[in-house]
């Protein structure tokens, strides 16, 4: 499951931020084939793009959805907008907000840091991807 990979990567061994964690975990889980240079693109989205805006785990989740469900450009995907809306709405309903500032205030603790915030994004992302990949393979 994706959350197991999230737990693996959001550790002292890897020292990744929330956005990097999600992208590394999804890369492993869904065999995205992203190399180290591609994975680095998530670095600047941690801590809500370093201004505590939209959670980095969500922005990387959007990157994963784009990678999986866009063949050429966003405009050509009948699914991307729907999946991103689902991810963000479900997350906001569950966690109370999309902003890092709110999420850190409500869900951060020194022991696990933002692990639970990232895992919740992973649960929803995995649900969307698993459902859609199985639907498309029918």
- Report how many domains make up the chain: 1
Q: What is the pLDDT of residue 136?
A: 85
Q: Which domain, by its residues, includes 104?
A: 2-136
pTM, two decimals, is 0.95
Quick check: helix, strand or coil at residue 134?
A: helix
Q: What is the pLDDT of residue 137?
A: 81
Q: What is the pLDDT of residue 7?
A: 98
Quickly count: other Cβ atoms within 10 Å of residue 53's Cβ: 15
Residue ranges in the chain modelled with pLDDT below 50 = none
- pLDDT tens-place string over residues 85-108: 999 999 999 999 999 999 999 999
CA distances for 127 relative to 69, 122, 123, angstroms: 14, 8, 6
Show the 3-state SS of 17-76: CHHHHHHHHHHHHCCCCCCHHHHHHHHHHHHHHHHHCECHHHHHHHHHHHHHHCCCCHHH
């Amino acid at each position: 499951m994706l959350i197991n990979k999230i737990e693996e990567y959001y550790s002292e061994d890897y020292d990744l931020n929330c956005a990097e964690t999600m992208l590394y975990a999804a890369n492993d889980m869904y065999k995205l084939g992203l190399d180290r240079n591609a994975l680095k693109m998530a670095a600047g989205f941690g801590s809500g793009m370093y201004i505590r805006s939209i959670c980095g785990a969500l922005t990387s989740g959007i990157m994963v959805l784009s990678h999986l469900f866009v063949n050429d450009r966003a405009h050509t995907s009948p699914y991307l907008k729907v999946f991103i809306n689902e991810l963000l709405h479900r997350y906001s309903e569950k966690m109370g907000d999309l902003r890092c500032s709110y999420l850190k205030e409500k869900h951060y603790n020194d022991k696990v840091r933002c692990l639970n915030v990232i895992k919740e994004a992973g649960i929803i992302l995995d649900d969307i991807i698993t459902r859609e990949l199985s639907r498309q393979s029918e």
